Amino acid sequence: MYRDGTGTIIAPLDQVRFERRMQMTSSSPKLVAVAPAGVYVLKRGNPFGGGVGTLDQVLTDAVHSFDA
């Protein structure tokens, strides 16, 4: 299950995608979880303190590696 910061269940993990999306005020992307109920920001990238790298792909692979 995917839960928000308060522990509320948002969606089963098989219904969640992880993506990098551009931020309006930064040249660095943010990492978001896309669920049927909406989009949730997991991390905002920072050009000075580090971006999100390939974390979207790592999370997707980890969560969906058991799908088949």
* 63 Cβ neighbours under 8 A, 6+ residues apart: 13, 14, 16, 18
Q: Which residue has the higher pLDDT, 67 or 44?
A: 44
- The total number of residues written for the chain in this structure: 68
31-43 pLDDT tens trace: 999 999 899 999 9
Please give the C-alpha separations between residue 30 and each of 6, 15, 26, 43, 51, in angstroms, as whole numbers: 21, 20, 9, 6, 8
Q: For the chain, give me the number of helices (H) and strands (E)?
A: 1, 5
Name the domain count of the chain: 1
13-65 pLDDT tens trace: 889 999 999 988 888 899 999 999 899 999 988 878 778 888 889 998 888 77
Q: Which domain holds residue 36?
A: 2-64
